[in-house]
Amino acid sequence: MPKAIVRAKKIGGSLMVTIPKEIVEEESIRENQLVEIEVKRKRKDFFGALKGIGPFTKEDEFDTHA
């Protein structure tokens, strides 16, 4: 079963999501066709949150040899 992460957009009082073209083609989905979706909220991860911090240096290491 194909999966995609998409952003919900507000349209009037509702939220809308789009189905990516690749999935539409792979599943041969046509306009006005009924489709079933499963909704799961994407958890935020912080991968890349520390972007811009340089590499660790010798001074950054803990002194474990006491």
Nearest to 29 by CA among 48, 7, 2: 2
Collapsing DSSP to helix, strand or coil, 22 comes out as helix
Residue 2: pLDDT band with limits 50, 70, 90: confident
pLDDT tens string 7-62:
999 999 999 999 999 999 999 999 999 999 999 887 776 666 666 666 666 666 66
CB atoms within 10 A of CB 24: 15
* CA 3 to the chain's CA centroid: 11
